[in-house]
Amino acid sequence: MVAIEDARDLLRLQGNGQWQDGYPNRDDLLNDISKGRLFVIPDPDQPAVIVGLCALTYHEAD
């Protein structure tokens, strides 16, 4: 969750309101992973270290 907090702080410093309301939290991340919408990218040399996250979502046109 440190990476999420760091990203949240960076977004705030840039004047971006994204993630400033508590989303995503741990439960949101775990839910997205379980539904196949969020993928964790581990460091190939240190699998316990996360180097990135990738969210793949779509919305159908109205």
The two three-digit tokens of residue 20, written as one number: 């400033």
List residues bridging with 52 in a β-sheet: 41
The separation between the first and the last C-alpha atoms of the chain, rounded to the nearest angstrom, is 34
Q: 4-61 pLDDT, tens per residue?
A: 899 999 999 999 999 999 899 999 999 999 999 999 899 999 988 888 889 888 877 7
Backbone angles phi, psi at 50, to 5 degrees: -90, 125
pTM over 0.85: no
Q: What is the C-alpha separation between 40 and 22, in angstroms, rounded?
A: 20
Confidence of residue 2 (pLDDT cuts 50, 70, 90): confident
